[in-house]
């Protein structure tokens, strides 16, 4: 066999004759249902044809009178297959490359097809054998071209002959199954890929989603951004998927024809509480506990925001407390977890133990795989309550946030937080307990009247657990406290009405740092903070040391809220007013066009966006103001001359940019580092 490059020049008359005859067949000449037999006889199976390609990444010209026959099992109707259809016989399947648009009109699923292969070429694409028309060289590599005159090679037979998919498991799929129709049963999307778009239709980007079986075996489901079902959401349940099996090197892949190929309406795998099931409230889960030990219902999940703080070690490293609108619960993992204060978490509860420890209800022995992060959430507003009310409603309010006002503290170990400290608000007393392992256990609690924000808990008797000293605020004192003193960044932004103002006393904000101090594209006194509601620039009194991705708590009581050349900021914030409890989770950038950014620049200011198809018309280096465009509009991307990458050249091809929306009189984008620019 030899590698050949076929030069082709076909007349428009030949092409038109094929196209018109095909249209006539479809509209007038085609007998109902069965169609016509073209009078050809196959002399080679698809498996035999594919065996001619003996080496990976090779090509084989077909020079003898080979005819194959098969049935189309995937076409381009939905847009998930482009310039190709999948042909299958009883021995295997092959991808047939062609140059037709809307080829499903000629070669639909279920149509019997004969192909005269003499003059065509076999090629290998990362493990998938393809049948094409010729070879050509691009960028030094030999590539397979499409069949540009299908009328000379491809002949239609009967239709309505859709084969039954082969039922396989993920582990059973092998080389003989490539480019064939298969069905996987008892599978589901992994938790992070449930209720997600199949692909990025807006950006026309192909996306991968992961499917798993109940034994943890996984396979990639790949969907084109041009697919008509790209905007459909992946299901949460368990069931079957019918698809074309493919590979990319050693990676197993599936390509569905329509979203109806995915039928997952059953209960998810039950081994250890898999997330992704139907979400129930925490209150409904708590109601299932009847004493002793109970189990969570299969196929169900709970979702809530983490109200405990592992970074301060105020509770055991295996424990976290989550709260939703209905209530809260302690989740005890089999090992230390990594979920942070304010993170939204989904937990599959199927078969997991509901039990009490010293009176405190918990979801016990939760495997790490049973929980998945949903990104940063919004901390619930604490319930303002007296000690007497907490003691009365202990069971109902357990594992939720409360705020006790006008209280005093006493006891403890030498006036420190460590151990049991007594809270007294005049209506009763309750213990505030702090572990000796907590990072702040050796600090002294404040004298005088205080407000306390904490989690309602139990250890045989009622107790309150605070997350950090900022949960204890001296009444009338400056700075920020916890609980109800927490403001969202959207609320802070709403305080500015056009002239300088000040944040209310005893307020704080929490978020994740989305600017990059180490690459110097922001002034050393500035950082950009984002939470689930929005973002804002924090300008400190002196250079700060907070890094990209740090979780940050900033006491803003009395801080100036003002604009600098149109950019809203918290100005001259004392450095001591900010602290980081640890690394946070960076927010997912908003996918947007430049036109959308310009329209929403005030609302989206100081938040992350991602723009695809961006070019730099001016070229040159990053330094200074560079016009960028994505075809919808043009705006400025600004880079400080002090940035570590300022002297690097901007890309010459279209790229995807992740950046912070900013302003300097007009809207502009600011990248953090060169990792924000992706080819």
pLDDT tens, position by position, 100-136: 989 999 999 999 999 999 999 999 999 999 999 999 9
Is the same domain home to 607 and 496?
Answer: no
Is the same domain home to 20 and 126?
Answer: yes
pLDDT at 302 over 80: yes
Which neighbouring-strand residues pair with 279? Answer: 301
Look at residues 212, 240, 266 and tell me which one is the last residue of a structural domain. Answer: 266
Is the same domain home to 46 and 150?
Answer: yes
Look at residues 376, 404, 426 and tell me which one is the last residue of a structural domain. Answer: 376
Q: What is the mean pLDDT of residues 324-347?
A: 94
Using the CB atoms, write b or e for 649-666: b if 16+ within 10 Å.
ebbeeebbbbbbbbbeee
Assign 447 a pLDDT band (cuts: 50, 70, 90): confident
Has residue 479 been placed in a domain?
no
Give the position of tokens 């008509």: 228
- Write out the DSSP string of 390-457: HHHTHHHHTTSEEEEEEEEEEEEETTEEEEEEEEE-SS-EEEEEE-TTSTTTTSBPPPS-EEEEEEEE
- Domain with 555, as residue range(s), is 487-583
Average pLDDT of the chain, as a whole number: 88
503-554 pLDDT, tens digit each: 887 788 889 999 999 999 999 999 999 998 999 999 999 999 999 999 898 9
Has residue 449 been placed in a domain?
yes
pLDDT recorded at residue 434:
95
Is the same domain home to 257 and 352?
Answer: no
pLDDT recorded at residue 442:
84
pLDDT at 616 over 50: yes
Look at residues 583, 614, 640 and tell me which one is the last residue of a structural domain. Answer: 583
Is the same domain home to 404 and 423?
Answer: yes
Is the same domain home to 372 and 394?
Answer: no
Least confident of 205-209, 326-330, 549-553, 622-626: 549-553
Query: If we measure between CA atoms, which residue out of 191, 194, 167 comes closest to residue 180?
Result: 167
Question: What gap in Å lies between CA 588 and CA 610, rounded to an integer?
Answer: 9
Is the same domain home to 103 and 26?
Answer: yes
Torsion of the alpha carbons at 602, 607, 611 and 614, rounded to the nearest 10? 80
Is the same domain home to 390 and 500?
Answer: no
- Asked if 554 contacts 480 with a C-beta cutoff of 8 angstroms, the reply is yes
Least confident of 12-21, 258-267, 335-344, 531-540: 12-21
Number of domains in the chain: 6
pLDDT recorded at residue 518:
95
558-595 pLDDT, tens digit each: 899 999 999 999 999 999 889 887 777 899 999 999 99
Is the same domain home to 424 and 555?
Answer: no
CATH code at position 83: 2.40.50
């Amino acid at each position: 066999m030899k590698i050949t490059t076929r030069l082709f020049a076909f007349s428009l008359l030949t092409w038109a004759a094929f196209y018109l005859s095909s249209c006539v067949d479809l509209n007038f000449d085609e007998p109902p249902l069965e169609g016509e037999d073209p009078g050809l006889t196959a002399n080679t199976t698809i498996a035999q044809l594919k065996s001619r390609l003996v080496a990976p990444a090779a090509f084989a010209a077909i020079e003898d009178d080979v005819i194959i026959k098969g049935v189309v099992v995937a076409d381009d109707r939905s847009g998930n297959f482009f310039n190709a259809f999948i042909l299958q016989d009883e021995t295997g399947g092959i991808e047939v490359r062609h140059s037709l648009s809307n080829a499903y009109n000629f070669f639909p699923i279920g149509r019997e097809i004969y192909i005269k292969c003499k003059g065509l070429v076999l090629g290998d694409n990362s493990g998938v054998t393809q049948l094409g028309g010729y070879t050509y060289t691009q960028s030094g590599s030999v590539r397979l071209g499409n069949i540009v005159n299908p009328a000379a090679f491809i002949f239609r037979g009967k239709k309505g002959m859709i084969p039954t998919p082969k039922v396989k498991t993920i582990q059973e799929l092998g080389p003989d199954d490539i480019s064939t129709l298969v069905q996987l049963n008892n599978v589901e999307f992994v938790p992070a890929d449930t209720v997600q778009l199949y692909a990025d239709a807006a950006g026309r980007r192909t996306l991968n989603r992961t499917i798993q079986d109940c034994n943890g075996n996984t396979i990639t489901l790949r969907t084109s951004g041009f697919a008509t079902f790209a905007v459909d959401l992946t299901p949460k349940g368990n069931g079957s998927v019918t698809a074309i099996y493919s590979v990319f090197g050693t990676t197993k892949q599936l390509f569905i024809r329509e979203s109806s190929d995915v039928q997952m309406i059953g209960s998810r795998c039950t081994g250890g509480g898999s997330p992704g099931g139907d979400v129930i409230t925490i209150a409904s889960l708590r109601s299932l506990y009847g004493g002793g030990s109970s189990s969570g219902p299969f196929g169900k999940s709970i979702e809530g925001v983490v109200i405990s703080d592992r970074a301060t070690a105020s509770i055991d490293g295996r424990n976290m407390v989550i709260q939703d609108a209905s209530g809260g619960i302690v989740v005890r993992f089999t090992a230390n977890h990594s979920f942070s204060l304010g993170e939204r978490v989904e937990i599959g509860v199927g078969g997991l133990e509901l039990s009490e420890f010293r009176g405190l209800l918990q979801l016990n022995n939760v495997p790490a795989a049973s929980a998945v992060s949903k990104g940063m959430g919004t901390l619930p507003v604490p319930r303002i309550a007296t000690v007497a009310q907490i003691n009365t409603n202990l069971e109902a309010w357990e594992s939720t946030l409360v705020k006790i006002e006008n209280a005093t503290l006493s006891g403890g170990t030498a006036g420190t937080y460590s151990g049991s400290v007594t809270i007294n608000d005049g209506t009763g007393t309750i213990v505030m307990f702090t572990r000796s392992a907590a990072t702040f256990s050796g600090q002294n609690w404040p004298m005088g009247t205080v407000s306390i924000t904490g989690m309602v808990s139990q250890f045989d008797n009622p107790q309150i657990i605070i997350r950090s000293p900022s949960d204890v605020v001296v009444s009338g004192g400056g700075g920020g406290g916890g609980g109800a003193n927490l403001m969202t960044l959207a609320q802070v932004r709403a305080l500015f009405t056009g002239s300088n103002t000040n944040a209310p006393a005893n307020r704080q904000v929490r978020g994740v740092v989305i600017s990059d101090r180490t690459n110097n594209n922001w002034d050393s006194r500035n950082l950009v903070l984002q939470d689930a509601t929005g973002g804002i620039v924090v300008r400190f009194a002196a250079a700060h040391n907070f890094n990209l991705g740090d979780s940050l708590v900033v006491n803003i009581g009395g801080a100036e809220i003002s604009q600098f050349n149109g950019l809203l900021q918290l100005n001259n914030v004392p450095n001591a007013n900010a602290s980081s409890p640890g690394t946070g989770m960076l927010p997912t950038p908003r996918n947007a066009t430049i036109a959308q950014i310009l329209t929403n620049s005030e609302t989206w200011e100081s938040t992350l966006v991602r723009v695809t198809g961006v070019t730099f018309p001016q070229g040159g280096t990053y330094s200074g103001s560079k016009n960028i465009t994505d075809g919808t509009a043009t705006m400025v991307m600004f880079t400080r001359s002090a940035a570590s990458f300022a002297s690097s050249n901007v890309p010459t091809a279209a790229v995807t940019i992740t950046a912070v929306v900013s302003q300097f009189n007009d809207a502009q984008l600011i990248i953090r580092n060169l990792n924000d620019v992706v080819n």
